[in-house]
Amino acid sequence: MNTDSANSGGRRTVAWQAVQDHVARVSATPIRRWFELEPRRFEAMSLEAAGLFVDFSKNRIDAPTLQKLIDLARASDVENRRDAMFVGERINITENRSVLHTALRNLTQPELIVGGVNVLADIRQVRQQMFAFAERVRSGDWLGHSGKPVTDVVNIGIGGSDLGPRMVCEALKSFAHPRLRMHFVANIDGDALADVLKSVDPERTLFIVASKTFTTIETLTNAHSARRWFLDKGGSEKDIARHFVAVSTNRDAVAGFGIDPANMFPFWDWVGGRYSLWSSIGLSIVLCIGPAQFEELLRGAEAMDKHFRSAPLEANMPVIMAMIGVWYRNFLDASSIAVLPYAEHLHRLPAYLQQLDMESNGKSVTRDGARVNHSTGPIVWGEPGTNGQHAFFQLLHQGSELVPIDFILPVEPTHGLSAHHQLLVANCLAQGSALMNGKSLDEVRAELVAKGVANTEIDRLALHRSFEGNRPSNTLLLNRLDAASLGALIALYEHKVFVQGVIWNVNSFDQWGVELGKVVATDIGDILAGRSAATNLDPSTQGLVARILAKGK
């Protein structure tokens, strides 16, 4: 196997060094100058795949540097590692698992044998079970215990069992079932559940308890409280089957909770939590948008999978986006990236991508078990435009941090307010352009002179009002925010994160930091409940516990 990745036992590789050699030269040239030096730059640095179009020409990069980055991807064995994922090799080496979320949206291949099992047959069978159930709920055929159709669906889950379905249901609101209101409860903070319970009718509410392990304390606590509420509001034990269903890999725990296993939608340990919206964890999505639209979501993702698997690295959208990210992270020292969807319904996308990216590549140990000697996953953040323009964009324009940006823009609206959409588009394109071009001191001076401002005042203000520019961005165009485009967009980011994980030589598919969170609270919970003493805690935490206990008395 080729081990020419970013860190193989702590040495810098030839391919890595070849990229490094470009830093000084490229850094000395502002992006807008590259458009003069490379006349067909927009055509060369843009790409269409799976219904998405990406313009990556507004980056601090030139053609030879991009080629060196692609060479680094090839030398890091991206192609073999990608193929290993698709065929089900156990690439999640710390949990000894395959990583097969791509199989969940494989709508065309007849079979995929992994460990002697045709996983595609299992996937398709569960999908039919989901679809049949969703059709009954959506048509009004599935009735609550007093004979009323469901009007409210409450998904109780956290992390990967919440963020994906929540984001997709928001994003595809324009395609939502008119009768069904979707609610998502994740937080252990009782306000999350209490707020939802205040607004729903127990006779018309369906709870989905979504938990891969069915051991997560937040989800189980919320689910038990919802069950108690349901019983208190007049439901009986036997009615639970009409109001509670489960999505999990843990059949015994589901039965133990009191949910009939006939109302359980299974999935498999080779689906990572943050990659699970394509599985039965997406039940809330199917209820919201219906089976046909859910299939469109899968189809969009599958189209991106096919592109990722077959396009040469030089024309491969996830690979290019990944390597541009590596360029900023490792060679130009950018510590964060901003994802700015110009689409109100994509307001949960940054939160979703935070988990996808930061949980996958927020690692400091290589796959070979050594400490990394390079930076790994960046901080991901963002908010929809245009709102952000009236807030943190200031820092993007004039701050001292380099923050590469992904603008995401649907070309056609899903509403009828075309004047709004035109302004939205104008704002998005204007920001990308202004960030790159900036405004020189001379331009500011000329503007102020034209306005008749006195020279002394011009001297005082000019620097404040100038913009150095050279702030990079990708612009991703979706035809419109529909299921297929969204599927392709999510898969694009999944694969981008995968490629970066290969370059950084980390396992993108475990999450020991999250697991830690699942256990550390138990001890303090025992102390707060008076079941044990605070003797093992550090002095700071001990002080906080004492103060909180004293206030509670």
Task: Give the number of other CB atoms < 10 A from CB of residue 280.
Answer: 27
Please report how the helices 78-86 and 291-310 are oriented relative to each other, as an axis angle in degrees rounded to 10: 150
Query: Shortest Cβ distance from residue 154 to ligand G6Q (Å)?
Result: 16
CA R_g for the chain:
26
Using the rule CB under 6 A, is 223 a contact of ligand G6Q? Answer: no
- Give the residue from 101, 95, 114, 89 showing the smallest Cα distance to 1: 89
Using the rule CB under 6 A, is 209 a contact of ligand G6Q? Answer: no
Q: Residues 238, 390, 464, 553: which is the catalytic one?
A: 390
CA dihedral over 97, 99, 103, 104, signed as positive or negative: positive
242/367 with CB nearer ligand G6Q:
367
Give backbone dihedrals phi and psi of 200, rounded to 5 degrees, phi first. -120, 160
Please identify which residue in 7, 205, 216, 222 interacts with ligand G6Q, judged by CB under 6 A: 216
Please identify which residue in 29, 213, 375, 427 interacts with ligand G6Q, judged by CB under 6 A: 213
Q: Residue 4: exposed, middle, or buried by beta-carbon count in 10 A (0-12, 13-18, 19+)? A: middle
Using the rule CB under 6 A, is 78 a contact of ligand G6Q? Answer: no
Does residue 390 have an active-site annotation?
yes
Please identify which residue in 71, 359, 383, 482 interacts with ligand G6Q, judged by CB under 6 A: 359
Please identify which residue in 514, 524, 534, 544 interacts with ligand G6Q, judged by CB under 6 A: 514
Helix or strand (DSSP H, E) at 462: none
Query: Shortest Cβ distance from residue 159 to ligand G6Q (Å)?
Result: 2
Please identify which residue in 5, 106, 219, 330 interacts with ligand G6Q, judged by CB under 6 A: 219
71/494 with CB nearer ligand G6Q:
494
Please identify which residue in 50, 444, 511, 527 interacts with ligand G6Q, judged by CB under 6 A: 511
Using the rule CB under 6 A, is 92 a contact of ligand G6Q? Answer: no
- Taking residues 127 to 166 in sequence order and writing x for each that binds ligand G6Q by CB under 6 A, - otherwise, the string is -------------------------------xxxx-----
274/299 with CB nearer ligand G6Q:
274
Query: Shortest Cβ distance from residue 191 to ligand G6Q (Å)?
Result: 20
Terminal C-alpha separation, the chain: 63
In whole angstroms, what is the distance from residue 416 CA to residue 421 CA? 9
Residues 150/206, Cβ–Cβ less than 8 Å: yes
- Give the residue from 283, 245, 249, 255 showing the smallest Cα distance to 268: 249
**Calculated CA dihedral for residues 205, 290, 254, 102, nearest 10 degrees:** -150
Residues 47/53, Cβ–Cβ less than 8 Å: yes
Using the rule CB under 6 A, is 282 a contact of ligand G6Q? Answer: no
Q: Residues 296, 359, 383, 494: which is the catalytic one?
A: 359
The one segment of 140-148, 211-219, 483-491, 527-535 that binds ligand G6Q by CB under 6 A = 211-219
In whole angstroms, what is the distance from residue 509 CA to residue 501 CA? 9
Two structure tokens written together for 449: 């002179």
Using the rule CB under 6 A, is 97 a contact of ligand G6Q? Answer: no
Using the rule CB under 6 A, is 274 a contact of ligand G6Q? Answer: yes
Does residue 374 have an active-site annotation?
no
Query: Shortest Cβ distance from residue 236 to ligand G6Q (Å)?
Result: 27
**Calculated CA dihedral for residues 303, 306, 307, 312, nearest 10 degrees:** -170
Using the rule CB under 6 A, is 354 a contact of ligand G6Q? Answer: no
Q: Which residue is nearest to ligand G6Q (CB)?
A: 159
* Residues at the contact surface with ligand G6Q, assessed by CB under 6 A: 158-161, 211-213, 216, 219, 272-274, 359, 511, 514
Give the active site residues. 359, 390, 518
